[in-house]
Amino acid sequence: MRVLVACEESQRVCIEFRKRGHEAFSCDLQECSGGHPEWHIKDDVKRVLRHDLEDPEWDMVIAFPPCTRLTVTANRWFKPEYKKMFPNIEEERKEAISFFKFFTMLKTNQVAIENPVGIMSTHYQKPTQIIQPYQFGHKDSKRTCLWLKYLPKLIPTEIVEPEYITSPSGKRHSKTHWMNPSTKNPEKAKLRSKTYLGIARAMAEQWG
């Protein structure tokens, strides 16, 4: 099966599909960090998938479109007091919505789109399912939405008790987010965005 993992530089999902004998490739504008550049397409994914809008070349597409302007958390940056900091934020959100919807228009037989809880539930439609890392062996909490086309919902593989870190204000944070604050730190933002290995394995095992 030919599988394209869009907007993935970590190659975690790509590698898991490769382990199971599939012809999988990651695709991103960045260089890959997964150690297999021979399985990575460094290019604009919209160009790579241009034929799949009419006559699919891939059997499955798993997409991780950037969520910076789509998450619920991002809503605070649209308040008037932040307008000077982010003068183009409205246009950036429109572009992010358009890019997300590009994957919904593919004629590819099987499509999965991943994103945190955010505005696409209203700008597109409610997700097929919402999963948590702690359902797949990770002691982390991060509600993750999946929009699925001709793919079954993921079945939890190893449910564990999530662990939290409590900030001085009393708010609970997942360990990964607390240890990797993304504000003004692109590298830590990249760490936060990597697919949990347990989820990547479940995608390959259950969808492959």
User: Which of 4-13, 45-54, 66-75, 159-168 bottoms out in mean pLDDT, i.e. has the lowest?
Assistant: 66-75
In a domain, 100, yes or no: yes
In a domain, 15, yes or no: yes
CATH number of the domain to which 70 belongs: 3.40.50.150
What is the DSSP secondary-structure string of 42-103? Answer: ES-HHHHTGGGGTS-S-SEEEE----TTTBSGGGGGGSGGGTTT-TTHHHHHHHHHHHHHHH
> Pairing relation of β-strands 164-166 and 2-6?
unpaired
pLDDT in tens, 33-81: 999 999 999 999 999 999 999 999 999 999 999 988 887 766 666 677 7
* Residue 60: strand pairing partners: 3, 110
In a domain, 99, yes or no: yes
In a domain, 182, yes or no: no
Q: How many domains are there within the chain?
A: 1
What is the DSSP secondary-structure string of 136-169? Answer: BT-S----EEEEEES-PPPPPSB-----EEE-TT
Domain membership of residue 35 as a residue range: 2-161+193-207
In a domain, 185, yes or no: no
Cβ–Cβ under 8 Å, residues 173 and 180: no
In a domain, 169, yes or no: no
Q: How far apart are the first and last CA of the chain?
A: 8
pLDDT in tens, 98-121: 999 999 999 999 999 999 999 999
In a domain, 179, yes or no: no
pLDDT in tens, 183-198: 555 665 666 678 999 9
* Phi, psi angle pair for 190, to nearest 5°: -65, -40
In a domain, 178, yes or no: no
pLDDT the model gives residue 185: 59
